Amino acid sequence: MLFTYWTHPEEKTPPSWDEWKDAYPYYKIFGDDEVLEIMNDEELKFYYTRITLPAAKSDIARLVLLREFGGLYMDAHTCPARMVDLVHTLDYSNSYEMTLFGKKWEFKYPNDFNLMNTVILCRKNSNLLDLLLGLIRENLKKQYEKEKAIGGYADYDIHFVTGTYCFVSIFFDESPYPPRLKEKFIGKINVDMLERADSAGFHIYKNYTYRKEKSHWSERQKVETLFNHA
């Protein structure tokens, strides 16, 4: 399955919808209702329904959906590229439980490291997803309690609470640089550092028309609480 998570107050489908439906008619979109229906962790659901930043909810939703259905998750700004490259990506990833992607084209030097959670390929019911969701639940709990104790804003960074660093902290040994997969995950996880934004059959960051000025999570998290405590 190829899919994305999408919630928008004005647009029912993401800008990439038409391109994906032309290239792959079975492409699917999931929203909050579908995510909550399959989210069995009640504590995680408690925090999820109170999150104010869509990016943080999306970080969680993609993992819940992958656990239920498996397949290739892609952020809504990701559009199809050459389908022959996508078939190749799916084929070589088939022997792994999870494939993660990185942005080699943004490396500052040859031995750099730049992982992303923008696109994730994973088998359904993978315990790798359970590890991620468990860590994220604990991170959310700590942030929720901090905000509740203060009665307002408490500093946080989505990258560490729900985002890509959760993958790094669980799956990678950070003592060397660049980080490398921990031995117990070798053979289970494939890491593909992409030469270009469109080199694996999908084109990330191609269509960002839905993004409004000063609406990115990196800007909003500086002034907004992560949770609605009302």
Residue 226 in domain: no
Q: Which bin fits 24, alpha (ψ -120 to 50), beta or left (φ > 0)?
A: beta
Percent of the chain predicted with pLDDT > 70: 96
Q: Does 227 fall in a domain?
A: no
CA of 123: how far to CAs of 71, 90, 126, 188, 221, in Å?
A: 6, 12, 6, 11, 32
Place of tokens 């229906």: 37
SS3 (DSSP) at 149:
helix
Domain that holds residue 78: 2-220
CA distance 174 to 160: 15
- 202 CA to centre of own chain: 15
pTM for this entry: 0.94
Asked whether residue 210 carries a pLDDT value surpassing 60, the answer given is no
- Of the two residues 213 and 216, the one the predictor is more confident about is 216
* pLDDT of amino acid 223: 86
Domains identified in the chain, total number = 1
Residue with structure tokens 């992560």? 226
Question: What does the pLDDT read at residue 216?
Answer: 76
Q: Is the pLDDT of residue 6 over 60?
A: yes
3-class secondary-structure state, position 69: helix
The mean pLDDT of 200-221, rounded to a whole number, is: 76
At 10-47, the pLDDT tens digits run 788 988 999 999 999 999 999 999 999 999 999 999 99
pLDDT of residue 211: 55
- Is pLDDT of 2 > 70? yes
Mean pLDDT of the chain: 94
The answer, yes or no, to whether residue 205 has pLDDT greater than 80, is: yes
Please state, in angstroms and rounded to a whole number, the distance separating the CA atoms of residues 184 and 8.
39
Residue 15 has a pLDDT of 86
Domain of 106, CATH number, reads 3.90.550
> Confidence band (pLDDT; 50, 70, 90) for 212?
low
pLDDT digits (tens, 9 = 90+) for 137-179: 999 999 999 999 999 999 999 999 999 999 999 999 999 899 9
Residue-wise pLDDT tens digits, 85-101: 999 999 999 999 999 99
Does residue 228 sit within a domain?
Answer: no
